[in-house]
Amino acid sequence: MELLKKKIRDEGMVLNEHVLKVDSFINHQMDPVLMKEMGKEFAKRFKDNGVTKILTIESSGIAPAIMAGLELDIPVIFARKKKSLTLTDDLYTSKVYSFTKKETNTITVSRKFFSEDDTILIIDDFLANGHAAFGLADLANQASATVAGIGIVIEKAFQPGGDELRARGYRVESLARISSLKHKTVKFVEEQKELEIY
């Protein structure tokens, strides 16, 4: 998706070989126009798959997910990472380890929002090692719902998550796929073109 790639080139900051900072349009300040376009793109890619609900994880997955939900006219559920005061029982839970943060979160969703009749589209902002996506798929599987696919804003294709999810049969659609962050440079999978980011 060109608009997203341009934004990454213009505003992304390569912190190191593994981490891209995008806090001016995704992770802290958010760009609603870009979010809207990303929602349209996800909807376009999954419009013929009978998706009934979108599942994401707090916090940065929520914005692209809600925009896709708006386009597809379906509800959006976000898995919680922290215990909620009101979300107390009848939960599906899964454990998600974050390499970036070196912590394990128990993610939860209420059972009442899923059923075996649902076809779920999973959406998240980053795909790195795939733990969040596998955890979300696990929640959908516990409900015997169908997983139509996984929509990712930025896939770091040099990390194993995308390949592992595809190998397990999941359809993964990423709006931008990064092949390398070496030498302070973002390299996208499709074009193999190097662009300096300062």
Q: Which residues bind ligand G4P (CB under 6 A)?
A: 19-22, 27, 57, 59-61, 98-101, 125-132, 156, 161
Q: What is the C-alpha R_g of the chain?
A: 16
Contacts of 51 (CB under 8 A, 6+ apart): 72, 74, 119, 120, 121, 148
Which residue number, 53 or 156, has a Cβ lying nearer to ligand G4P?
156
Identity of the residue, 72 or 154, whose beta carbon is nearer to ligand G4P in the bound complex: 154
**Which H helix or E strand runs over 185?**
strand 185-188
Tell which residue, 117, 113, 81, 86, has the closest CA to residue 98.
81
The burial class, CB within 10 Å (0-12 / 13-18 / 19+), for 152 is: buried
Least separation in angstroms between residue 134's CB and ligand G4P is 8
CB of 128 to ligand G4P, least distance (A): 3
Q: Please state the closest distance from residue 60 (CB atom) to ligand G4P, in A.
A: 3
- Indicate the residue among 39 and 130 with the shorter CB distance to ligand G4P: 130
Structure tokens at 23: 């806090």
By beta-carbon proximity to ligand G4P, the closer residue of 27 and 110 is 27
Nearest to 92 by CA among 124, 138, 52: 138
In angstroms, what is the minimal distance from the CB of 117 to ligand G4P? 28
Residue (52 or 147) nearer to ligand G4P, CB: 147
Contact 190, 177 (CB under 8 A): yes
CB of 156 to ligand G4P, least distance (A): 6
